[in-house]
Amino acid sequence: MSNATTSATNAVELDGKDLPAHCPNPAMPLWSSHPRVFLEFNHDGVAKCPYCGTAYRLKPGTVVGHH
């Protein structure tokens, strides 16, 4: 459980303008890229890339629209 907390603490913070969220994100270097995957956030507003393990967190107060 502490591993998940550490990941969330070091997560890339996203705002509503960054949604829908995907990885790799635009700040990642091209050489380290992998196929684009769209991220699904849990009820705590945290998502983790299944390819590279990068953690993402929604900024407090971010509203996620439902499709």
Enumerate residues 6+ apart whose C-beta is below 8 A from 9: none
Q: How far apart are CA 54 and CA 47, in angstroms?
A: 8
Residues 8 and 57: beta-carbon distance below 8 Å: yes
Say whether pLDDT at 18 is over 50. Answer: yes
How confident is the model over 30-56, as pLDDT tens digits? 887 899 999 999 999 999 999 999 999
Reported pTM: 0.75
C-alpha torsion 40→37→29→8, nearest 10: 20
